[in-house]
Amino acid sequence: MEGMVNVSETKRKDCSNNPQFRRKELENIIRERKIRIVYQPIVNVKTGEIMGYEALTRGPEGSPLFSPVDLFQAAMDNQLLFALEQICREEALNNIQDLKSYQQLFLNMNAEVVNDPHFQNGKTKKCVTLRGFKPEQVTFEITERTAITDFDSFCRSLCHYREQGYTIAVDDAGAGYSSLQAIVELRPEYIKLDMSIIRGIHTSLPKQAIVEAMVKLAAAVNAKIIAEGVETREELIALYNLGVHYVQGYYLARPSYPAPEITPEAMRLIANLNNTSKRLKQNNQFIGLGIRIGEIAELTQTIEKETPVSKVEQILHEKNLNGLVVVENGQPIGLVMKNKLYYRLGTSYGVSLYQNRPVALIMDKSPLIVHADMPLEDASQIAMSRDEYNLYDLIIVVDKGGKYAGVVSIMSMLNNITKIRISCAQNSNPLTGLPGNLIIEAKLKALVEENGDFTVLYADLDNFKAFNDKYGFENGDKAILLTAQILSDSLVRFGSGDDFVGHIGGDDFVIITKPEYAKNIANYILENFDKNIRNLYDPKDLALGFIEVTNRRGRPEKFPIMSISLAAVNNTKRKFRNYLEIGEIAAELKRVAKQNQGSSVVFDF
């Protein structure tokens, strides 16, 4: 009835701040497990994949303890924090659906909970195993909004979790009392940046500087950064450019039950960011002159997964090795790097925790493994795209059967790349800077060996010599540079991202692309060459439509305005036994093209 007051609701509101009422409300919530768990995805900005979910707790609807802040504060006030957190953990584990084996479940842990006498009772592990999960899939978020008064005591209390395989995240970094000390003392696997730092980061240089510094700090302590509270497209772009590993926030997905997927808009943005990055890397790639990574691999001692950590440390020290590959039946299954091993053993309880345990417990179970026949340039791009803290790990090389064939250090790879770059520079055309004959030959050989579909476009200028004689070498160089620019632009606009353009010499060029891109590339070259080459001619000669040059017999001869002839050689209808055959077919096609008036292209289709 209109105007009536709900007496019970009014009484409830009046009692909401009463300590006794709040305790009874809290006890009722714990006894009847009247909490609601929602999940929010944490997303890898390099792949767009969900790496895990944070479980977030809500009190009963309409309750004065609905807010997680009020709920957990009441639990702290009434010494019921561990009881509440235990229920939250159990409900989070029971209700999560389809958690993949590679995904993490993030559970919040208040620093004060370690003071509860029931803290180390093993209930969490029972719940984890009962649900079919592994401890390695669970990460405890230590909130950093309240001070940790005794780091030594707190670290000791967390040891039993780490011994069981759980990982640790420092939550709200940047919003608490001692963020840096928490990171240094707790050695977390993840550092979660508070949303106060993320909000509006794309317009704040100080915030960008903070995040950049945190990314570097994370690399130094072998941790990964998770940016919380991402709410806009612009914030996500800024975080991607700053090198943040993971993101979480409303822009990607709101907390809900069941665990939600990423929004299509966020998924498209992440894909576009990575495609752009990939294209830039491809446009700047170098040519490896046919070198395979197996050619520079070195055989080193291997170990079994049961080898004690103390023995591994001894081998690394005595043989002065940077790392050891863990093998099983001749196949690599893990990697132990010296610096990371020493880092683990150097922690407060590192030696007692790991020294006499098998190396399988601490090895990197997902090292970079490549096949011996992979081109060096491809392997280098994969290696250099790894996370910063894995960047200097050994690259493991295997044969065709997947058996261990050696390792390549980053130093060795970079030394070989430097030699290749020097060789490439020596074999690049000094005028255009484009790859020269040696590199072109290596590219064509690789095309024939790989036997994939390709089109090779040979470009040759018509009447270039006459132009050079009439206007001089300086203007002749301008014509060559103009041609090189047009060919390069054609690949940027219409190529596949991994195309190739080389300068054979003089006025001859070559393009390698996929058959489906060839026509658009050729048409762009013809149109833009004819339009721009006229800028190099005297207006009087353009009006005449030709230039007059004295020929070898001493007689004046008329030559048309320069044009370009393209010969497109394709392997979709014929197979080449060697790269020389490609040049022979191209020569025939160019003769046909040059018989046409003006610029033209002849396809081998």
DSSP string, 387-436: -GGGTTSPEEEE-TTS-EEEEE-HHHHHHHHHHHHHHHHHTB-TTT--B-
Q: Is 373 helix (H, G, I), strand (E, B) or coil?
A: coil
Element (H, E) at 508: strand 508-513
- 526: which residues sit within 8 A by CB, 6+ positions away? 564, 566, 599, 600, 601
pLDDT at 128 over 60: yes
- Nearest alpha carbon to residue 98 among 76, 73, 131: 131
Residue 114 pLDDT > 70: no
Token duo for residue 204: 């704040």
Residue 537 — pLDDT band, cuts 50, 70, 90?
A: very high
Tens-place pLDDT, residues 20-60: 878 888 888 888 888 889 999 999 998 889 999 999 988 88
Start and end residues for every CATH 3.20.20.450 domain found in the chain = 19-284
pTM beyond 0.85: no
φ, ψ dihedrals at 200, nearest 5°: 70, 25
pLDDT value for 352? 74
Q: Say what the pLDDT of residue 542 is.
A: 92
Mean pLDDT of the 387-392 span:
81
Decide: 501 and 517 in contact? Cβ < 8 Å.
Answer: no
| Helix axes of 264-283 and 233-242: crossing angle, nearest 10 degrees | 40
Query: Residue 102: which pLDDT band, with cuts at 50, 70 and 90?
Result: confident
> How many angstroms separate the CA atoms of 211 and 230, rounded?
13
Q: Give the pLDDT of residue 34.
A: 85
pLDDT for res 55? 92
Check whether 599 has a pLDDT greater than 90: yes
User: Which pLDDT value is given to residue 124?
Assistant: 73
When pLDDT is averaged across residues 290-314 and rounded to a whole number, the result is 90
pLDDT digits (tens, 9 = 90+) for 236-265: 988 988 889 999 999 999 999 999 999 999
Tokens of 248: 């979480």
Q: Helices 309-318 & 338-345, crossing angle to 10 degrees? A: 130
Query: Across residues 202-216, what is the average pLDDT?
Result: 86
pLDDT over 90 (residue 420): no
Nearest residue to 309 (alpha-carbon basis) of 356, 365, 364, 363: 356
For residue 369, the Cα-to-chain-centroid distance in whole angstroms is: 17
Distance linking the first and last C-alpha atoms of the chain: 84
Burial 155-185 (b: 16+ CB within 10 A, else e): bebbeebbeeebbbbbbbbbbbeebeebbeb
Say if residues 201 and 7 touch (Cβ distance below 8 Å): no
Residues 6 or more apart in contact with residue 390 via CB below 8 angstroms: 364, 368
Average pLDDT over all residues of the chain: 84
SS3 38: strand
What stretch(es) of the chain map to CATH 3.10.580.10? 293-415
- Under CATH, what is the fold of the domain 293-415? CBS-domain (3.10.580)
pLDDT of residue 425: 66
Per-residue pLDDT band for 409 (boundaries 50, 70, 90) equals very high
Highest mean pLDDT among 72-76, 255-259, 430-434, 491-495: 255-259
Give me the pLDDT at residue 280, please: 42
- Residue 285 in this model has a pLDDT that exceeds 60: no
Instruction: State what percent of residues in the chain have pLDDT above 90.
Output: 37
Asked if 38 and 56 touch (Cβ cutoff 8 Å), the reply is yes
Name the percent of the chain lying above pLDDT 70.
87
More reliable by pLDDT, 447 or 492: 447
Residue 589: which of 561, 569, 563, 564 has the closest Cα? 569
Residue 281 has what pLDDT? 46
Strand order in the sheet with 404-408: 369-371, 395-398, 404-408
List 40's β-bridge partners, or say none.
54
Calpha distance 403→299 (Å, rounded): 12
Local confidence band at 62 (pLDDT 50, 70, 90 cut-offs): confident
Tokens 């074999």 label which residue? 427
Band of pLDDT at residue 121, cut at 50, 70 and 90: low
pLDDT tens digit sequence for 482-515: 999 899 888 877 877 678 899 999 999 999 998 9
Q: With the CA atoms of 125, 131, 137 and 138 taken in that order, what torsion angle do they form, in degrees rounded to the nearest 10?
A: -50
Predicted confidence (pLDDT) at residue 467 exceeds the cutoff of 70: yes
Classify domain 428-603 at the CATH class level: alpha beta
Upstream peptide bond of 258 is cis (omega within 30 degrees of 0) = yes
**Sequential DSSP letters for 71-132:** HHHHHHHTT-HHHHHHHHHHHHHHH--S--TT-EEEEEE-GGGGGSTTTTSSHHHHHHHHTT
- d(Cα 267, Cα 275) in Å, to the nearest integer? 12
Q: Which CATH architecture best describes the domain 19-284?
A: Alpha-Beta Barrel (3.20)
**Residue 406: which pLDDT band, with cuts at 50, 70 and 90?**
very high
Q: Which range has the worst mean pLDDT, 159-168, 530-539, 562-571?
A: 159-168
Q: Is the pLDDT of residue 286 over 50?
A: no
Based on the number of CB atoms within 10 Å of its own CB, is 543 exposed (0-12), middle (13-18) or buried (19 or more)? exposed
Q: Lowest mean pLDDT: which of 52-66, 273-287, 373-387, 416-430?
A: 273-287
Query: Which tops the pLDDT comparison, 315 or 219?
Result: 315
pLDDT at 5: 41
Instruction: Please tell me the predicted confidence (pLDDT) of residue 3.
Output: 41
pLDDT band at 605 (very low <50, low <70, confident <90, very high): low
- Each residue's pLDDT tens digit, 552-569: 777 889 999 999 999 999
Domain with CATH 3.30.70.270 in the chain: 428-603
Q: Indicate if the pLDDT at residue 531 is higher than 50.
A: yes
Residue 326: pLDDT band with limits 50, 70, 90: very high
User: Who has greater pLDDT, 217 or 227?
Assistant: 227
Is pLDDT larger for residue 346 or for residue 317?
Answer: 317
Lowest-pLDDT choice from 154-163, 181-190, 332-341, 589-598: 154-163
The side-by-side arrangement of strands in the sheet containing 331-337 is 302-303, 323-328, 331-337
From residue 546, how far is each of 205, 418, 476, 593 by CA, in Å?
58, 48, 16, 20
Phi, psi of 177 (to 5 degrees): -90, -30
